[in-house]
A and B are shown apart, each in its own frame.
Chain A
Amino acid sequence: GAVVSQHPSRVICKSGTSVKIECRSLDFQATTMFWYRQFPKQSLMLMATSNEGSKATYEQGVEKDKFLINHASLTLSTLTVTSAHPEDSSFYICSASHRSGGEQYFGPGTRLTVT
Chain B
Amino acid sequence: AQSVTQLDSQVPVFEEAPVELRCNYSSSVSVYLFWYVQYPNQGLQLLLKYLSGSTLVKGINGFEAEFNKSQTSFHLRKPSVHISDTAEYFCAVSGPSGNTPLVFGKGTRLSVIA
Contacts and interface: CB of A to CB of B under 8 A. Distances in A.
Interface of A: 6, 31-32, 34, 42-46, 49, 51, 91, 93, 95, 97-109, 111
Contacts of A43: 90, 104-107
Given A34-B102, A102-B49, A103-B46, 6 more contacts: A44-B102, A51-B99, A95-B102, A101-B96, A101-B99, A103-B49
B21 to A, nearest CB: 14
Contacts of B105: 43
9 contacts: A34-B101, A46-B101, A49-B101, A97-B98, A98-B98, A101-B97, A102-B51, A102-B97, A103-B32
Interface residues of B, number: 24
Contacts of A31: 98-99
A68 B43 CA distance: 22
Given A32-B99, A34-B101, A104 B42 contact: no
B73 interface: no
B102 A42 contact: no
A98 B106 CA distance: 26
Nearest to A35: B101
Q: Taking each of B44, B46, B49, B96, which has the highest tally of chain A beta carbons within 10 Å of its own beta carbon?
A: B44
Nearest to B4: A43
Contacts of A107: 43
A46 B101 CA distance: 8
Interface string B27-64: 00000101010000111111001010000000000000
Contacts of B111: none
Contacts of A51: 99
Nearest to A95: B102
Q: Taking each of B41, B97, B98, which has the highest tally of chain A beta carbons within 10 Å of its own beta carbon?
A: B98
